[in-house]
């Protein structure tokens, strides 16, 4: 069943093969039927792991164990593409970007699982020359031999794609490495967002699209949900170690809440829906893309349909 390959576990073809197939067939083959991982598992609940721990390294190691125990990054995954958030001139403590200690442990975990090529493409909002070092992410990418790509400069790595099942965002340019990889992992930071309500996993794909402006002009929430019709990460790992409750997406804010949580799932909609419950209700309600994605059957936003596994990491 094609959808299974796409979601990255129990694969007969590699993700790279799939993406090529998908592109060749306009994606229609794969995306014709319902996409919800829950539906696919035959009505079983969607797994969402909620890991807690103050030590970020131990926290991510626990997450990597969850991943390894549940299909890992896929059989023989040689290339992993990691989408972090490194869009802002913000220090790790300010919470504007994914925390570098988490990324460090993730990259090391990938190496332990035999991954050869690690790529981190990012289309930052502020200049990469400042955001990449300031976020602390450039340093951990370098120390782990991962290629952190500034998509503003890597113009040749953009690729035209059509999103056949999208309602609004029918065409876009996305990084090659997001489209062609053995395992795609999304690791956003959860935070307040003035316009969208919250920045969560699906919103993080805005850092993987060339023309963000189109989205702002054409129903932002629908466009964000449209990402999920096409970009199907093997794993979503949401950094909720500290979350901005206001002044997002850049901050800094004094209302930075320390939660020490990681939310891990194969279902990006479920990961977003659960993470949204960690925020005040008005912000969660304003984050309309979650509901839209659920209505498009791209995942589940219904907490009662989720199997929540709470894990204490230490």
The answer to the question of residue 208 lying near another protein (CB under 8 A) is no
What values do phi and psi take at 70, rounded to 5? -125, 50
For tokens 């035209």, what's the residue?
A: 160
133 binds another protein (CB under 8 A): no
Stretch of 75-83, 241-249, 264-272, 296-304 lying at the interface with another protein (CB under 8 A): 241-249
What is each CA distance from 91 to 64, 88, 132, in whole angstroms?
A: 25, 9, 10
Closer to another protein by Cβ: residue 170 or 309: 170
Closest distance of CB 132 from another protein, Å:
13
**255 touches another protein (CB under 8 A):** yes
Output the CA–CA distances (angstroms, integers) from residue 51 to 23, 31, 303, 309, 313, in the order listed. 35, 31, 17, 8, 6
Contact code string over 154-193 relative to another protein, x by CB under 8 A = ---------------------------------------x
In the DSSP assignment, the letter for residue 236 is: E
CB of 7 to another protein, least distance (A): 29
Q: Considering CB under 8 A, how many residues would be counted as binding another protein?
A: 30
Which are the contacts of 238, defined by CB distance < 8 A and separation ≥ 6? 187, 188, 189, 190, 200, 201, 262, 263, 264, 271, 272, 275
Interface with another protein, residue 203, by CB under 8 A: no
Closest CA to 234 of 75, 102, 45: 75
Q: Which of 20, 167, 247, 297 binds another protein (CB under 8 A)?
A: 247
114 binds another protein (CB under 8 A): no
Within its chain, how far is the Cα of 228 from the centroid? Answer: 10
- By CB under 8 A, the residues from 62 to 91 that bind another protein are 89
Among 150, 246, 260, 302, binds another protein (CB under 8 A): 246
Segment (H or E) for 63:
helix 56-69
The correct pick among 61, 181, 253, 305 for binding another protein (CB under 8 A) is: 253
**Which residues of this protein are in contact with another protein, per CB under 8 A?**
89, 125-127, 130, 193-197, 212-214, 216-221, 245-247, 249-250, 253-255, 285-286, 288
């Amino acid at each position: 069943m094609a959808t299974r390959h796409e979601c990255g576990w129990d694969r007969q073809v590699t993700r790279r093969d799939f993406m090529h197939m998908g592109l060749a067939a306009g994606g229609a083959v794969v995306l014709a039927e319902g996409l919800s991982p829950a539906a696919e598992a035959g009505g079983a609940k969607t797994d969402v792991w909620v890991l807690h721990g103050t030590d970020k390294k131990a926290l991510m190691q626990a997450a990597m164990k969850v991943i390894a125990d549940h299909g890992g990054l896929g059989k023989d995954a040689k290339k992993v593409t990691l989408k972090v958030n490194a869009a802002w001139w913000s220090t790790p403590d300010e919470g504007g970007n994914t925390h570098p200690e988490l990324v460090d442990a993730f990259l090391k975990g990938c190496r332990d699982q035999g991954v050869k090529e690690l790529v981190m493409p990012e289309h930052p909002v502020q200049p990469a020359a400042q955001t990449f070092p300031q976020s602390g992410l450039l340093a951990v990418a370098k120390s782990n031999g991962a290629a952190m790509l500034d998509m503003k400069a890597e113009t040749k790595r953009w690729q035209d794609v059509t999103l056949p099942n999208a309602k609004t965002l029918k065409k876009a340019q996305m990084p090659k490495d997001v489209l062609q990889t053995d395992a795609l992992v999304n690791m956003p930071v959860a935070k307040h967002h003035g316009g969208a309500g919250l920045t969560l996993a699906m919103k993080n794909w805005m850092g993987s699209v060339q023309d963000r402006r189109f989205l702002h002009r054409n129903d932002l929430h629908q466009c964000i949900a449209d990402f999920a019709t096409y970009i199907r990460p093997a794993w979503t790992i949401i950094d909720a170690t500290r979350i901005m409750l206001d002044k997002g997406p850049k901050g800094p804010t004094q209302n930075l809440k320390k939660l020490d949580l990681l939310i891990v799932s194969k279902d990006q909609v479920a990961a977003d829906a659960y993470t949204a419950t960690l925020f005040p209700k008005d912000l969660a309600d304003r984050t309309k893309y979650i509901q839209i994605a659920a209505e498009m059957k791209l995942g589940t936003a219904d907490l009662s349909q989720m199997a929540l596994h709470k894990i204490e990491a230490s």
